[in-house]
């Protein structure tokens, strides 16, 4: 007999009762969360005991996978030629293709830029673009680059670019991450935050790229003890608001307004989506 803690008792053994009477009208049972469920007498789950506790086998959810057809993508992109469409399709999604990321940290503000990569060979092109962005947006040039001893930083094209732009390259010795402490601590902070975002949202690991970018966005807007509790983003952009949009929980349900003019009057005005992050920086 399972004691419910009140004046009623429950049992699954009918033989314990000398007589039974079923209610003539449907009976509703009040559950612990305040909701009510109709009593049908049918078995909805069987619990198994483990270490003094009962566990119910969870029911399998029915999932409907939706895949956009090539025809729909073709119409959305303005009916491009087949050759152009084939070249664009591999770049429409980053869920499966990206495996690495690189971070660039401003030593003054500790503001961090994160770029996702398919392979290590993309690092040089990304750094070139980042150099141009800093020069254009802030009117400054990168004078010193401190990195680990990864071979990508010592390629001929990378060294040639550094020399031609007068950038001093400082690299740590092999197997001495403590010489690059700022980047190592930032990397750990990003990874810990990314892991938390994925676990809290019950998100699949294939969304790690979006979680990493979201982690970087949020960390840039958190007070830093290294900066005497100042916010990195505010130091770099003193006139801009900390959040350009209202923060949302990673992985939450969101609705995007559907601007399609051909919809019916009673059709849905929004598309159900999943929130996966913000714009860069």
Q: CA-CA distance, 42 to 55, in Å (whole number)? A: 18
Residues 171, 153 contacting (CB under 8 angstroms): yes
CB atoms within 10 A of CB 110: 21
For position 127, what pLDDT does the model report?
96
Mean pLDDT of 180-205: 93
What fold, for 2-7+97-236? Nucleotidyltransferase; domain 5 (3.30.420)
CA-based nearest residue to 155, from 120, 115, 104, 129: 120
The single-letter DSSP state of residue 61 is P
Identify each DSSP E strand in 198-280 by its residue range: 253-257, 270-274
Q: What is the pLDDT of residue 7?
A: 63
**Tokens 């290590």 belong to residue:** 120
Integer Cα distance of 101 and 278 in angstroms: 17
> Left, alpha or beta for 4 (phi > 0: left; psi -120 to 50: alpha)?
alpha
Local confidence band at 56 (pLDDT 50, 70, 90 cut-offs): low
- Mean predicted lDDT score pLDDT of the chain: 82
Report whether 209 contacts 215 (CB < 8 A): no
> Where residue 91 falls among pLDDT bands split at 50, 70, 90?
very low
Between strands 100-105 and 112-117, the pairing is antiparallel
pLDDT over 70 (residue 90):
no
* Residue 132 pLDDT greater than 80, yes or no: yes
Give me the pLDDT at residue 265, please: 77
Residue 5: pLDDT over 70: no
Q: Say whether pTM exceeds 0.95.
A: no
Q: What phi and psi values does residue 257 have, to the nearest 5 degrees? A: -65, 130
217 or 48, greater pLDDT: 217
**Segments making up each domain of the chain, as ranges:** 2-7+97-236
Cα dist. 257→84, 210, 268 in Å?
29, 22, 9
């Amino acid at each position: 007999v399972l004691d419910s803690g009140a004046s009623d008792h429950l049992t699954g053994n009918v033989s314990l009762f000398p007589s039974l009477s079923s209610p003539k009208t449907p009976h509703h049972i009040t559950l612990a969360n305040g909701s009510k469920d109709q009593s049908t007498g049918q078995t909805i789950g069987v619990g198994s005991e483990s270490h003094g506790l009962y566990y119910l086998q969870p029911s399998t959810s029915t999932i409907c996978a939706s895949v956009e057809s090539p025809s729909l993508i073709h119409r959305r992109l303005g009916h491009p030629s087949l050759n152009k469409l084939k070249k664009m399709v591999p770049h429409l999604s980053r869920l499966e293709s990206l495996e690495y990321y690189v971070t660039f940290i401003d030593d003054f503000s500790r503001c961090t830029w994160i770029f996702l990569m398919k392979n290590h060979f993309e690092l040089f092109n990304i750094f070139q673009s980042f150099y141009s962005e800093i020069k254009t947006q802030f009117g400054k040039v990168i004078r010193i680059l401190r990195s680990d001893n990864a071979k990508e930083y010592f390629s001929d094209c990378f060294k040639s670019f550094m020399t031609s732009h007068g950038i001093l390259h400082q690299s740590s010795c092999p197997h001495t991450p403590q010489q690059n402490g700022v980047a190592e601590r930032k990397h750990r902070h990003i990874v810990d935050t990314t892991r938390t975002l994925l676990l809290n949202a019950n998100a699949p690991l294939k969304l790690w790229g979006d979680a990493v970018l979201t982690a970087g966005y949020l960390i840039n807007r958190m007070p830093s003890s290294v900066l005497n509790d100042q916010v990195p983003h505010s130091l770099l952009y003193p006139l801009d608001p900390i959040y350009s949009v209202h923060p949302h929980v990673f992985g939450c349900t969101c609705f995007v307004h559907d601007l399609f003019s051909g919809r019916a009057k009673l059709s849905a005005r929004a598309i159900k989506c999943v929130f996966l992050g913000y714009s860069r920086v």
